Structure 1
Amino acid sequence: MKASDLPRLPSRPGVYLWKRDGRVIYVGKAKNLRARVNHYAHGEDKAGRIFAEADALEFIVTRDEVEALLLEANLIKAHRPEFNVLMKDDKHYPFLKLTNETFPTLVVTRRVEDDGARYWGPFPDAGAVRRIKRLVDRVFPLRKNSGVPMKKRRRPCLNHAMGRCLAPCVGRADPEAYARVVRRVEQLLDGRVDDLLEELAVRMEEAARAQHFELAAELRDQIRALERFFASGQQAYAVGLGDLDAVGLARSGAYAMVQLFQIRGGRMLGRTSRFVENAGEATDAEVLEAFLRDYYLVASPLPPLVLLPLATEGQEVFARALAERAGRKVELRVPKRGEKVRLVQFASENARAGLEVELARLEKRGDHPALASLQRALGLARRPWRIEGYDVSNLFGTAVVAAIAVFEGGRPKKSQYRRMRIRGLAGKPDDYKAMEEAVYRRFTGSLQTKMESPDLLLIDGGLGQVRAAQKALERAGVSLPLVGLAKREEVLVLPSGERVMRPLDDPGLRLLIHLRDETHRFGLAYNRQLRGKKTLKSVFDDIPGIGPARKKVLLERFSTLEELRATPPERLAELPGMNRRAAEAVLRHLNEAAARS
């Protein structure tokens, strides 16, 4: 699609849909449609790829940003576009529903309708829904589900005989008494347990003073049942916190987990979580907004305060949308201090633990999407369960080191990371020879017996490094598939010279980028350890205008002479503390030094 193909959009709020071959690939909302969509025509990274892949654009004008948010949520659920951040759990979670009738009943449902009923949920744990439903059925004489709407019966059921139902289906229930029971159930489900217990205690004492001992005993049993239920597994917080939700976020490569804790009256009443598998290029804010859209636009009841781990661009719009749903103010806030900060940290810790569980489950099933993608892209005989990444790091021929990082099942296995010094190249930077030596030593020395054989080797570099690694494997008498990953281009390079292009959101490529960056980080840390302060002071001493601050920036960004010399001056000038004059001075000095040698 070309920028000239874009229709002239209005400068109004709305929703836009990018399409490819008639299929929606991305849905977005905007305060100003014209400005937002024009950004895609000139954008980079994800926005630029969406624009490049799309062949059509549709848009819908809305009255305001809140209406755009609601419409965006509905369209994402309907189309599930590949470029939107999608929650893994798109199944309908159960809700508890108090029907809109003269004599309401509590039922479990997976569909929220605009029928005047009250809904609580969604509950990610169906077992928790059943436990709450059983508690209500046991403690409160609410009619059991004898039909919705209520059907007339000729005789009361067994629940009435057991004192667990007021029998409205046979006309025996007093509407006012039944309404009091309904109000208590609502108190319970709203999380106002302390208020409910206090009210029941007052009524129990009044019944006892009036010598209504059967009623007093019934109320006593209700109090005990509620106290037992909410005493088990409940973590207490300061009552002064009031009613709020605390949201935590954890990331691991293309995967993310969002965890929410519901605090009502200083007591944790429940939690929910969402696992995201396609968050490779999404920012933390985009993942968080996807959760807010997926959960809060259907959740009920809504708390007056939602604590977030970070601010998002659409935070105010979400707050207005939730306020309209709740009929009162709902604030979304990033806490700065105190117990609220600790609550968000606690939610984030649980999100990390939940993410570990999900990733372990994927590994156990062998369902990591990146492994299947790599198998297809590289034509491998089996999924590359164990991948070893190789990188060489040096500072202009000094402190030459090689690093090996290991991923198993798509995740780092840091206990298997290895590093080695490459000797014999001092003053003569040769990344090819260093790579060859590193791979050869891995498969002929002590590491051959200490480490399991990999399914795939990833070489940090282009065709030269890949062929050096292939030569080392041939010398060692080992046959293994290997692939290189060239920097900046992010193109896969095979020993044959074939270049394999993959979209940047491909899970296999994202995994290799993660492994490449992890290997580079590990090797660079060792290189810096060996260099010491002496090297840091000496490399750029002869270049005018390069002081300690600029030295530090350059040494943190570049690990080899070739990498630095290949950087265009305009990109070098964009580094913190650098400018065009300093960038040109550095490159001129290095080129003159290379010419003299």
Structure 2
Amino acid sequence: MKGVRLEDLPPLPETPGVYLWKRQEAVLYVGKAKNLKARVRSYFHQEGKGRRIAEEADRVEFIATRDEVEALLLEANLIKLHRPPYNILLKDDKHYPFLKLTREPFPTLLVVRRVEEDGARYYGPFPEAGAVRRIKALLDRIFPLRKNSGYPMRKRRRPCLNYSMGRCLAPCVGRADPGAYQEVVRKVEEVLEGRIDRILKELEGQMKAAAQALDFERAAELRDQMEALRAFFGTSQQAVNPRLKDLDFLGHRQAGGLHVVQLYQVRSGRILGRVSRVLETPQGQPGEAQEVLWAFLRDYYLEATPLPPEILLPFAVEGQEALAALLSQRRGARVRVHVPKRGEKARLLEFAAKNAQLALEAELKLWEKRGDHPGLKALQEVLGLARRPFRLEGYDLSHLMGQDPVGSLAVFEGGRPKRAEYRRLRLKAPGGDDYQGMKELVRRRFTGRLKELPLPDLLLIDGGLGQVRAAEEALKEVGLSLPLVGLAKREEVLVLPDGRTLALPLTHPALQLLIHLRDETHKNGLAYQQKRRSERLFRLLEGIPGIGEKRRRMLLERYGGLEALKKAPLEELAHLPGMNEKAARALKEALSGSMSP
């Protein structure tokens, strides 16, 4: 029988540990558990991903640990080692940069991509190398740490140019006072931890003292350093609340299997920085937000340094207590990981959620620009298509009380509108017969001049089962067999030609893409139908005495249609700009015998 059965499980202990679902030698999934026996057995009672993992694997292996903290560390290491396909992984696999303040009698500042157990101070990770280089360049200019004598420090015969420029105390040639050098190191540490207020006060005091001593060159140098610090850390920081002091807070948003997690660092009541990561659930399957957030927390905080005393989560995740215990051990003081429910901290989470949503929308637009909209892959999976669709066409009907029926065609390629190929058709079928109208619209799309357009990979019909089957009949008449699906209004349910329906979450990328296409199709048809009504009304007004072209355009702009114009009182019409009572009476008399469109 395919997969692992419940009776095939090895004797599992009721202790913390890590379990590995494997197929032959390949690791499919790595997980941690407070109770290994209960956790692994739960897979046989799950739907979705849990059941698929059990069915695809041929065995389960486990490693018992002393506690949840040890299980957390082991889980993270095994995931990095095996990169299992069913685990939530970061979209990229690069090591993010850190600033390293070396542990030496005369430390230096380095850019590194790995944190080692060497006693050095690490700051990061930073979301991009450019940010690290800018911070390091600023610190190198302001604080005279050594720069060119290597790590560990090598002795030199003569000082380098940085010493002559006042940017190094030259410990490599024995000219630096150890106490003065450690004071510089302290200032660098405070800046990297986001505490610049005290540094600015010290620099200001030194500047005033230099000015009083008539050392204006030194005073100007100190002033420039203060301005550089304020420019970099002041403009890049947003004040939150000084009472909040130091904490991290996170935001999360998702669209189907695409997730954005953002982390904001607050130091001394100001937002010091932001880390934004894009994650995808494995094999394009929508994953639970808790698992995605946990993957981010695990990957980020097992390297991040220095650690804050408090971390605010948008929602609870399994394992947050173990994470808090581990981070408390690393920090040497308590780290609280929790979900605030009210007050200023809850408002910070709202701020993070809004920005995560903006980042998610930007990521989706980037995918669309590349022709790689996530909804296309999701459509292939949801509808069981042989290949991922690229060209989608939407079909919609529009009329007003049966009059002026029109058909609309909208085109998406790669998830993006291709407006140059939108089309509008006047229909011959009666406006009240949506089935005949849809059949005519689809038939004419694949005959005549429109058949020169590329064939679509999927047809979206705006309507229910009746409209979908009418479109299917039209395709058979023209000798085509193309995938098609309906999108019923209000419920936003997918309707298949065989009568089945599919209800997807509103956040599902396939549904979002189809709704966008449906709305574009409807907007295109509605604009054409309104244009036809306006033309019809314009022709009707042409024969009325006293209503010239200028008055006709004014009436069209104000009332839009015949019904609204007929309901307008005589006095109102007479007092319109450019109108008079005589023209208004002629208009009312002419309209009283006209037919409604």
Correspondence for 2:125:
122
Pick the structure with greater CA Rg: 2
The alpha-carbon distance between structure 1 residues 362 and 517, as it changes in their structure 2 partners (threshold 3 A), is: closer
Correspondence for 1:307:
312
Aligned pair partner of 2:79 in 60, 76, 79 = 76
- After superposition, the C-alpha distances for 1:374-398 in whole angstroms (9 at most, x for unaligned) are 7797445xx522435899xxxxxxx
- After superposition, the C-alpha distances for 1:169-227 in whole angstroms (9 at most, x for unaligned) are 11111111000000000000011111222233344456666777766554444323212
Coordinate RMSD, CA, aligned = 4.4
Residue 143 of structure 1 deviates from its aligned partner by: 0.5
Cα distance in 2 for residues equivalent to 1:2 and 1:491: 35
**Please, which runs of 5 or more residues in structure 2 have no aligned partner?**
397-406, 488-492, 501-507, 521-597
Cα distance in 2 for residues equivalent to 1:406 and 1:222: 57
Aligned pair partner of 2:235 in 223, 232, 236 = 232
Residue 277 of structure 1 deviates from its aligned partner by: 2.4
The alpha-carbon distance between structure 1 residues 179 and 40, as it changes in their structure 2 partners (threshold 3 A), is: same
Contact kept? 1:97, 1:107, Cα under 8 Å: yes
Contact kept? 2:242, 2:268, Cα under 8 Å: yes
Correspondence for 1:45:
48
The alpha-carbon distance between structure 1 residues 63 and 188, as it changes in their structure 2 partners (threshold 3 A), is: same
- After superposition, the C-alpha distances for 1:1-39 in whole angstroms (9 at most, x for unaligned) are 111111010011001111123211111110000000000
Cα distance in 1 for residues equivalent to 2:131 and 2:104: 25
**SS state at 1:60 partner:** strand
Aligned pair partner of 2:137 in 134, 137, 149 = 134
Output the amino acid matched with 1:313: E
Note if 1:341 corresponds to 2:337. Answer: no
Note if 1:275 corresponds to 2:315. Answer: no
1:209-248 matched pairs, under 5 angstroms: 218-248=221-251
Correspondence for 1:317:
322
Correspondence for 2:475:
473
Output the amino acid matched with 1:481: L
The alpha-carbon distance between structure 1 residues 511 and 346, as it changes in their structure 2 partners (threshold 3 A), is: closer
Output the amino acid matched with 1:142: L
Correspondence for 1:112:
115
**SS state at 2:20 partner:** strand
Note if 1:194 corresponds to 2:232. Answer: no
With 22-31 and 358-367 compared, the bigger mean Cα shift is at 358-367
Contact kept? 1:105, 1:145, Cα under 8 Å: no
Note if 1:455 corresponds to 2:476. Answer: no
1:348-387 matched pairs, under 5 angstroms: 348-368=353-373, 371=376, 378-379=385-386, 384-387=389-392
Aligned pair partner of 1:332 in 337, 342, 348 = 337
Output the amino acid matched with 2:472: Q
Residue 167 of structure 1 deviates from its aligned partner by: 0.5
Cα distance in 1 for residues equivalent to 2:85 and 2:519: 31
Cα distance in 1 for residues equivalent to 2:509 and 2:459: 13
**SS state at 2:90 partner:** coil
With 271-280 and 291-300 compared, the bigger mean Cα shift is at 271-280
Note if 1:257 corresponds to 2:260. Answer: yes
The alpha-carbon distance between structure 1 residues 305 and 18, as it changes in their structure 2 partners (threshold 3 A), is: same
**SS state at 2:204 partner:** helix
1:149-188 matched pairs, under 5 angstroms: 149-188=152-191
Residue 300 of structure 1 deviates from its aligned partner by: 1.1
Cα distance in 1 for residues equivalent to 2:24 and 2:378: 23
1:10-89 matched pairs, under 5 angstroms: 10-89=13-92
The alpha-carbon distance between structure 1 residues 63 and 483, as it changes in their structure 2 partners (threshold 3 A), is: farther
**SS state at 1:357 partner:** helix
Output the amino acid matched with 2:38: A
1:570-581 matched pairs, under 5 angstroms: none
Correspondence for 2:586:
none
Cα distance in 2 for residues equivalent to 1:31 and 1:137: 47
Residue 74 of structure 1 deviates from its aligned partner by: 1.5
Residue 469 of structure 1 deviates from its aligned partner by: 4.2
Correspondence for 2:537:
none
Output the amino acid matched with 1:327: G
- After superposition, the C-alpha distances for 1:456-476 in whole angstroms (9 at most, x for unaligned) are 13689999998764322233x
Output the amino acid matched with 1:297: L
Contact kept? 1:104, 1:143, Cα under 8 Å: yes
- After superposition, the C-alpha distances for 1:239-263 in whole angstroms (9 at most, x for unaligned) are 2221122211111122111111222
Cα distance in 2 for residues equivalent to 1:99 and 1:478: 74
Cα distance in 2 for residues equivalent to 1:434 and 1:14: 61
Contact kept? 1:87, 1:274, Cα under 8 Å: yes
- After superposition, the C-alpha distances for 1:527-580 in whole angstroms (9 at most, x for unaligned) are xxxxxxxxxxxxxxxxxxxxxxxxxxxxxxxxxxxxxxxxxxxxxxxxxxxxxx
Output the amino acid matched with 2:231: R
Contact kept? 1:457, 1:480, Cα under 8 Å: no
**SS state at 1:29 partner:** strand
Cα distance in 1 for residues equivalent to 2:256 and 2:436: 29
The alpha-carbon distance between structure 1 residues 483 and 29, as it changes in their structure 2 partners (threshold 3 A), is: farther
How many residue pairs align between the two structures? 484
Residue 134 of structure 1 deviates from its aligned partner by: 0.6
**Please, which runs of 5 or more residues in structure 1 have no aligned partner?**
392-401, 427-432, 500-509, 523-597
The alpha-carbon distance between structure 1 residues 492 and 3, as it changes in their structure 2 partners (threshold 3 A), is: farther
Cα distance in 2 for residues equivalent to 1:57 and 1:355: 36
Cα distance in 2 for residues equivalent to 1:192 and 1:165: 22
Cα distance in 2 for residues equivalent to 1:318 and 1:356: 30
The alpha-carbon distance between structure 1 residues 13 and 189, as it changes in their structure 2 partners (threshold 3 A), is: same
Correspondence for 1:504:
none
TM-score (norm 1): 0.70
The alpha-carbon distance between structure 1 residues 7 and 403, as it changes in their structure 2 partners (threshold 3 A), is: farther
Output the amino acid matched with 2:482: P
1:518-557 matched pairs, under 5 angstroms: none
Output the amino acid matched with 1:167: A
Cα distance in 1 for residues equivalent to 2:78 and 2:322: 18
The alpha-carbon distance between structure 1 residues 409 and 304, as it changes in their structure 2 partners (threshold 3 A), is: farther
The alpha-carbon distance between structure 1 residues 514 and 228, as it changes in their structure 2 partners (threshold 3 A), is: closer
The alpha-carbon distance between structure 1 residues 28 and 521, as it changes in their structure 2 partners (threshold 3 A), is: farther
Note if 1:482 corresponds to 2:487. Answer: no
TM-score (norm 2): 0.70
